[in-house]
Amino acid sequence: MARNKYPEETIQKILDVSYRLFLEKGYEHTSIQDIVHAIGMSKGAIYHHFKSKDEILERICEQYYSDIQWLDDILQDSSLNSLEKLKKIYYYELNDEKKRSYDIIALPMLKNPNMIVMQLQEAIHETGPLLTKLIEEGNADGSMHVKYPRQLAETMILLVNIWISPGCIPVSRDHFFKKILFYQDMLENLGLPLIDSKFVNVCMGYYDAVFSSVSWDT
């Protein structure tokens, strides 16, 4: 068998085609055989690079979420105070169409407890220091008044990724709305006036775009 001279191109092709199929058919309704037919390569060639469909999904999400140039641009914007930067980060996360599409295909990953724990640990260790720094800078520029920056940063990560996230804890639109209002009150009482009416509307738009087609009981 001839050796593939361009494995990176093959891997990227598998990821690109799988991403398209996951969006079109849904992750759970896309089989490895579907990917094989769409790409035009053997099943063995795909398994040479990926052990399973789950691993393909993990790599797709890892590849997207590692692209943080947009985040650097916001953090380096000297015209914004720290609170404005934090709001802009949230707005991007919730409004970006491509981000929403990745969140949709990544929903099955949230059924795996090991994956949830791994993502939380990564968020605490990677996002935690960045969020802590933003809050500390907000205290310095007067846009925030938080007594325990690191502790609040880690609490925000846990709440957003577990309790608030309908992908992790399925809830109705109304219950999600009330969770956002609770989160708003909590942050304001802790010195971080992050959420306003515009922010709430953005959150509800995100819910409608990502979770409106999901049926669940509350």
Determine the structural domain holding residue 106 and report its residue range.
67-211
In a domain? residue 39:
yes
Question: Both 23 and 112 in a single domain?
Answer: no
Band (pLDDT 50/70/90 cuts) for residue 2 is very low
Residue 75 located in a structural domain: yes
Tell me, what CATH number does 135's domain have? 1.10.357.10
Residues 30 and 132 grouped into a single domain:
no
Residue 217 lies in a domain: no
Q: Compute the average pLDDT of residues 197-202.
A: 96
Q: Where are the beta strands (DSSP E) in 91-165?
A: none
Clarify whether residues 23 and 109 are in a common domain.
no
Q: Using alpha carbons only, give the angle 172, 167, 199 rounded to the nearest 5 degrees.
A: 70
Task: Using alpha carbons, select from 102, 87, 110 the residue that is nearest to residue 197.
Answer: 87
Domain co-membership, 102 together with 75: yes
The answer to whether the beta carbons of residues 27 and 105 sit under 8 Å apart is yes
CATH number of the domain where residue 34 is located: 1.10.10.60
Residue 158 lies in a domain: yes
Note whether 78 and 180 are same-domain residues.
Answer: yes
C-beta separation of 127 from 154 below 8 A = no
Share of the chain above pLDDT 90, in %: 50
Q: How many domains does the chain have?
A: 2
Query: Same domain, yes or no, for 86 and 39?
Result: no
Q: How many CB atoms lie within 10 A of CB 212?
A: 8
Question: Are 34 and 86 found together in one domain?
Answer: no
| pTM for this model (two decimals) | 0.77
**Domain check: are 100 and 181 in the same one?**
yes
Confidence band of 65 (pLDDT split at 50, 70, 90) = low
Distance in angstroms (rounded) separating the CA atoms of residues 202 and 207: 9
